[in-house]
Homo-oligomer: A and B are copies of this chain.
Amino acid sequence: MNFQKHVQNPVDSWIAATSALRQIDLSHPMQKGMPVHPAHPPFHITLNNRHGDVLRSCGHSSSNELIVMSTHSSTHIDAICHVSDHGSLFGCHEATNEQTGTDLFKVHGAETIGPIFRRGVLLDVARIRGLAALDPAYEVTVDDLKAAEEDANTTLQKGDIVLVRTGWGQYWSRSQTYLGLDSLGAPGPGVAAGRWLAERKPFCVGSDTSAFEVMNHHNITLEVHLILIAQSGVHIIENLNLEELSEARAGVFAFAALPLRINGATGSPLRPLALL
């Protein structure tokens, strides 16, 4: 980043600085047939009007589409109202009260997530374990995370965006495999690793799987979601594409994302960037 001293104003300076950084897209494209975790409604998209349906005198015609989705399709961030712990949302709000009514959640909805321009850290667990991708249902441990942190040559700080790479982003185009439906389940942090992450007080964690935490079909508790979101107020980003970031060996980077302000919603689709 080369800050041009002669630039007269901060606006031009910031744009120049931003443009000088390498941008790595951390999102998967949204499309019909992409993997959607079975807990969520299906994703569907189709053209609604097509060109030619209405043709105006000047030659204008337009097309639009109809989308059916939850906010947990494709790359997305979980709002804090997404998960409860024994009926309580983070901060001791009673979930039943907050979700009753016609306007979704009264607290902790997606509209409360501000623009995100923060330090990101990649914990490349697949790399430090010498694997292209972790095994099905592999439980990422505290030691794995510590080794990955060391490999990233940094120390996690409060407010960071902490991304855990399992390598499963490579399976994105094969839904059954990606979702762990043709195996024991997707890998990810277990309860101990989830607690360790929560104690680092990140703003947000994320991974390249559909559920962040380890999914073993023999015992699905989703306790890591409970620890991070409901007990600690930490957002989770799922379905990240971390392959290019891993190849760039970028342990530390600037993370930029602009969640949609969907009132009362349990999350938002996201197009996050790593800037380095």
Q: List 6 A-B contacts (CB under 8 A).
A: A17-B17, A51-B95, A51-B96, A257-B258, A258-B272, A260-B269
Encoded as 1 (CB less than 8 Å from any B CB) or 0, chain A from 120 to 148 comes to 00000000000000000000000000000
A221 to B52, CA, bound (A): 14
Taking the closest CB of chain B, its distance from the CB of A231, in whole angstroms, is 10
Q: Does A248 contact B (CB under 8 A)?
A: no
Residues 1 to 33 of chain A near chain B (Cβ within 8 Å): 1, 3, 9-15, 17-19, 21, 23, 25, 27-32
A31 and B252 within 8 A (CB): no
Segment at the B interface, from A57-65, A163-171, A182-190, A195-203: A57-65
Q: Which residues of B contact A152 (CB under 8 A)?
A: none
B71 and A64 within 8 A (CB): yes
A223 partner, pick from B58, B66, B267, beta carbons under 8 A: B58
A102 and B18 within 8 A (CB): no
Taking the closest CB of chain B, its distance from the CB of A233, in whole angstroms, is 15
Q: Which residues of B contact A19 (CB under 8 A)?
A: 117
A14 and B275 within 8 A (CB): yes
18 more A-B residue pairs beyond the given contacts A51-B89, A65-B265, with a C-beta to C-beta distance below 8 A: A1-B13, A29-B111, A30-B262, A32-B103, A39-B62, A39-B64, A41-B68, A46-B104, A49-B102, A50-B95, A50-B99, A62-B266, A64-B72, A64-B267, A67-B67, A115-B256, A258-B271, A260-B270
A265 to B15, CA, bound (A): 28
Interface size of A by CB at 8 A reads 105
What residues of chain A have their CB less than 8 Å away from a CB belonging to chain B? Answer: 1, 3, 9-15, 17-19, 21, 23, 25, 27-32, 39-42, 44-54, 56-72, 74, 81-87, 89, 95-96, 99-105, 111, 115, 117-119, 220-223, 225-226, 230, 252-254, 256-267, 269-273, 275-276
Q: Which residues of B contact A82 (CB under 8 A)?
A: 62-64
A14 partner, pick from B11, B12, B100, B254, beta carbons under 8 A: B254
Taking the closest CB of chain B, its distance from the CB of A61, in whole angstroms, is 5
A82 to B49, CA, bound (A): 10
A60 partner, pick from B83, B96, B104, B118, beta carbons under 8 A: B83
